Amino acid sequence: MVDARQLQTCLFEMGVMEEEDCVAVTGVEKFEYGQSNPTFKVWMEKRQRQGESRRTHAIVVRKQPGGKLLKSAHDMDREYRILRALYPHYPVAKPLGYHSRREDLDGTFYAMQYIDGVVFTDPTLPDLTSTQRKHVYTQLIDALSSLHALSPASIGLADLSPHSGFETRQIRRWYKQYQLSVDAPSSDMEWMHDWLEESKAAILGSHLHASLPTTLVHGDFRLDNAIFERGTYTLKGVLDWELASLGNPLADLGRNS
């Protein structure tokens, strides 16, 4: 858990408290679902002016996990850069500030706007009507299409990663991360890695692959990384940009299938 007093000190130093017109952090709650980087809802007390009643305000803080980290993993600075580039050209939370001193909260972190809405964790959407389900998934597909239509250069992300070799980099990086995170290798994972390496040449040599543009790729684009307006189910924001890169847009389409 994040220490509220220490977080408040950091947010004052970052200028977030002043920007949000707040005077104190009053509560911190960790989001429990699905974050490799711990993410917290932070309640703050708004500055009280004469004649006003006490008001509260919420933001979100997303930080590195504590302890030893795998090399190149949990890069908050990179993720914050992507968020700043996307806002306001794409539906993401407004970025508020980045804190680079790891020792303060056992990890670097950034603050962003809190988007109130609903996150669907069951892809069958059992509580929605068929019309509502169609609307949700249409919104999601439109958001994916809009992301891939963005020019990385136009938003300052042309140098986010190399413009070629995406599939090779992905296989190499994830296999290395896997090796560093287990005590003993799994035969199934080794088979999968070998199969990917053997299949890579055929995929990269295909006409389809050659015709695809290099786009901004989210890396984990799926229903539960999106926030929707309650009731209308209009998409309000896309979350979790840790794995974003420049590469093959079909990678996002496959992840969302």
Q: Where are the alpha helices (DSSP H) in 25-129?
A: 76-86, 102-105
- State the pLDDT at residue 212: 87
Give the list of residues 6+ apart from residue 238 with CB closer than 8 angstroms, or none: 90, 91, 92, 143, 147, 218, 221, 225, 226, 227
The number of residues making up the chain comes to: 257
Q: Within 13 Å and on the Cβ side, how many CA atoms surround 71?
A: 4
- State the pLDDT at residue 45: 96
Q: What CA–CA distance (Å, rounded) separates 99 from 16?
A: 11
- State the pLDDT at residue 73: 63
pLDDT at residue 242 tops 80? yes
Q: What CA–CA distance (Å, rounded) separates 198 from 150?
A: 32
What is the mean pLDDT of the segment spanning 227-238?
Answer: 97
Q: What CA–CA distance (Å, rounded) separates 2 from 8?
A: 10
Quickly state the pLDDT bin for 205 (edges 50, 70, 90): confident
- pTM strictly above 0.85: yes
* Widest CA span in the chain: 71
| Angle at the Cα of 63 from the Cα atoms of 62 and 68, rounded to 5 degrees | 155
pLDDT digits (tens, 9 = 90+) for 104-144: 998 899 999 999 999 999 999 999 999 999 999 999 999 99
- State the pLDDT at residue 9: 97
Q: What is the pLDDT of the chain when averaged over all its residues? A: 92
Mean pLDDT comparison of 51-55, 108-112, 164-168, 169-173, highest-scoring range: 108-112
| Angle at the Cα of 14 from the Cα atoms of 12 and 20, rounded to 5 degrees | 65
For 91-95, 98-102, 127-131, 234-238, which range has the lowest pLDDT when averaged over its residues?
A: 98-102
pLDDT digits (tens, 9 = 90+) for 30-86: 998 756 899 999 999 999 887 778 889 999 999 998 766 666 667 899 999 999 999
